């Protein structure tokens, strides 16, 4: 009997303890709101404010970009966005700032900012997946960096995101794996389409003498923008599609790319 009382008392103590702990711990972890509340009646300035929250939050822009860092642009992996509100109008002949910024977010590989490598994720697709309204807010904010915001939620940017957008493979920052030239060549399956120590063509031209045919800049372009010039007798489209699928363009670091170009330029058919 005495034991039963003891056990009963202990049980009450334990229950009391846990309900105390339960009350001190927040009932539910609160995550930042999935999307800012954006209303069609918001002014461009209000929208820009919401955009500022998005670029440091859900948009993850500041994981890569800086704003007004003052660093030498040639030392940066990602463009500094300070002044982009004004500079955007000067990037592509005949393209106004809003059109340029919309393209930069929806079709980033359409135009690569000078001095930088591709690697900007498509913002309306997973993993970032901002919706069209959030992107308008981001653009309104970018406009304030060197200019006045004009975009509102009724602005037509010319893009409509399907809600079930398919994920973009490999949409992550270029971190690189510290590979050397031959390592990159192997890892990204270049050798499945290119001979490197013999003359015969596979799906692509042999690269055993590429260093005597192309300059470093041409080799660089042949890799980063394969369809800009298509080698005689070969088909365009295959190489960029395959490299896109292996994640080459998003994973390769600038050091690895340099090592790869140097490795290829040393192949002179000897
Ligand atoms: C994983 C890294 C990464 C993230 C995240 C990222 N960007 Fe970029 N961004 C880049 C790279 C690399 C470039 C340069 C290549 C290019 O022009 O596409 C770039 C280019 C740009 C440009 C063109 C800059 C210029 O000087 O012309 C704009 C504008 C831009 N990004 C805005 C954004 C915004 C806004 C976000 C967030 C919604 C964002 N980026 C998220 C990597 C990133
Ligand atoms: C799926 C096959 C395929 C893969 C994988 C591939 N390429 Fe290519 N590559 C081609 C084809 C086809 C061409 C010719 C058409 C063209 O110029 O775009 C080509 C052209 C080139 C050229 C220009 C050659 C010349 O003689 O003008 C270089 C350089 C090159 N590739 C390097 C690479 C590197 C480096 C890799 C790996 C990172 C790679 N390629 C992966 C198919 C491929």
Query: What pLDDT, in 10s, does the model give residues 232-255?
Result: 888 888 788 878 877 888 888 878
Which range in 15-19, 48-52, 224-228 is most confidently predicted, on average pLDDT? 48-52
Ligand 1 close to Cβ of residue 112 (< 6 A) = yes
Show Cβ contacts of residue 61 under 8 Å, excluding neighbours closer than 6 positions.
55, 81, 138
Ligand 2 centre distance from Cα of residue 134 (Å): 38
Q: Are 123 and 106 in contact (CB under 8 A)?
A: yes
* Chain position carrying tokens 């970032």: 128
Ligand 1 centre distance from Cα of residue 181 (Å): 27
Which residue owns the Cα nearest ligand 1 atom 16? Answer: 112
Residue 24 pLDDT: 42
Percent of the chain with pLDDT over 70: 81
Cα dihedral 217, 220, 221, 227 sign: positive
Ligand 1 close to Cβ of residue 38 (< 6 A) = no
Q: Are 121 and 169 in contact (CB under 8 A)?
A: no
Ligand 1 close to Cβ of residue 78 (< 6 A) = yes
Residue 237 pLDDT: 81
Is the pLDDT at 155 greater than 80? The verdict is yes
Residue of 225, 235, 239, 258 to mutate, ligand 2, most atoms within 8 A of C-beta: 239
Residue 59 pLDDT: 85
Closest-lying ligand to the alpha carbon of 233?
2
Task: Output 156 or 174, whichever has higher pLDDT.
Answer: 156
Residue 163 pLDDT: 64
Nearest residue to 224 (alpha-carbon basis) of 144, 146, 112: 112
Show Cβ contacts of residue 124 under 8 Å, excluding neighbours closer than 6 positions.
105, 106, 130, 131, 132, 135, 159, 161, 165
Ligand 2 close to Cβ of residue 71 (< 6 A) = no
Residue 148 pLDDT: 96
Nearest atom in ligand 2 to 205's CA: 26
Show Cβ contacts of residue 190 under 8 Å, excluding neighbours closer than 6 positions.
184, 196, 207
What value does the mean pLDDT of the chain take?
Answer: 81
Ligand 2 centre distance from Cα of residue 222 (Å): 7
Q: What average pLDDT score do residues 184-197 get? A: 88
Is the pLDDT at 164 greater than 70? The verdict is no
Distance (Å, rounded) from C-alpha 191 to C-alpha 178?
Answer: 19
What is the chain's alpha carbon radius of gyration, rounded to the nearest angstrom?
26
Residue 28 pLDDT: 37
Nearest atom in ligand 2 to 206's CA: 26
Task: Output 173 or 84, whichever has higher pLDDT.
Answer: 84
pLDDT tier, 44 (very low <50, low <70, confident <90, very high otherwise): very high
Is the pLDDT at 123 greater than 50? The verdict is yes
Ligand 2 close to Cβ of residue 219 (< 6 A) = yes
Q: What average pLDDT score do residues 226-237 get? A: 84
Nearest residue to 67 (alpha-carbon basis) of 157, 153, 138: 138
Ligand 1 centre distance from Cα of residue 119 (Å): 8
Residue of 97, 113, 159 to mutate, ligand 1, most atoms within 8 A of C-beta: 113
Distance (Å, rounded) from C-alpha 91 to C-alpha 114?
Answer: 9
Distance (Å, rounded) from C-alpha 184 to C-alpha 174?
Answer: 14
Distance (Å, rounded) from C-alpha 239 to C-alpha 196?
Answer: 16
Q: What average pLDDT score do residues 106-111 get? A: 91
Ligand 2 close to Cβ of residue 259 (< 6 A) = no
Is the pLDDT at 140 greater than 50? The verdict is yes
Is the pLDDT at 1 greater than 50? The verdict is no
Distance (Å, rounded) from C-alpha 203 to C-alpha 235?
Answer: 9
Q: Are 265 and 213 in contact (CB under 8 A)?
A: no
Ligand 2 close to Cβ of residue 59 (< 6 A) = no
Ligand 2 close to Cβ of residue 226 (< 6 A) = yes
Q: Which of 51-55, 112-116, 227-231 has the lowest mean pLDDT?
A: 227-231
Q: What average pLDDT score do residues 170-174 get? A: 39
Is the pLDDT at 268 greater than 60? The verdict is yes
Which residue owns the Cα nearest ligand 1 atom 37? Answer: 61
Ligand 1 centre distance from Cα of residue 113 (Å): 9
């Amino acid at each position: 009997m005495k034991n039963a009382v003891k056990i009963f008392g202990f049980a009450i103590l334990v229950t009391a303890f846990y309900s105390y702990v339960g009350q001190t711990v927040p009932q539910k972890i609160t995550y930042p709101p999935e999307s800012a509340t954006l209303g069609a009646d918001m002014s461009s300035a209000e929208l820009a404010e919401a955009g500022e929250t998005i670029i440091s939050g859900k948009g993850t822009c500041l994981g890569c970009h800086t704003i007004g860092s003052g660093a030498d642009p040639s030392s940066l992996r990602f463009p500094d966005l300070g002044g982009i509100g004004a500079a955007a109008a000067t990037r592509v002949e005949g393209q106004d700032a809003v059109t340029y910024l919309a393209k930069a977010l929806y079709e980033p590989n359409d135009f690569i900012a000078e001095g930088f490598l591709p690697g900007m994720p498509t913002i309306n697709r997973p993993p970032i997946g901002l919706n069209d309204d959030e992107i308008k807010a981001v653009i309104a904010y970018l406009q304030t960096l060197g200019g006045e915001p004009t975009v509102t939620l009724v602005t037509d940017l010319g893009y409509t995101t399907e809600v079930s957008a398919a994920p973009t493979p490999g949409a992550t920052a270029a971190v690189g794996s510290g590979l050397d030239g031959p390592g990159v060549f192997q890892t990204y399956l270049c050798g499945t389409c290119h001979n490197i120590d013999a003359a015969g063509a596979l799906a692509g031209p042999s690269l055993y003498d590429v260093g005597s045919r192309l300059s470093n800049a041409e080799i660089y372009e042949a890799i980063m923008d394969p369809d800009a010039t298509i080698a005689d007798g070969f088909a365009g489209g295959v190489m960029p599609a395959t490299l896109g699928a292996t994640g080459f363009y998003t994973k390769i670091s600038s050091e690895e790319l340099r090592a790869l170009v140097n490795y290829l330029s040393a192949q002179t058919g000897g």
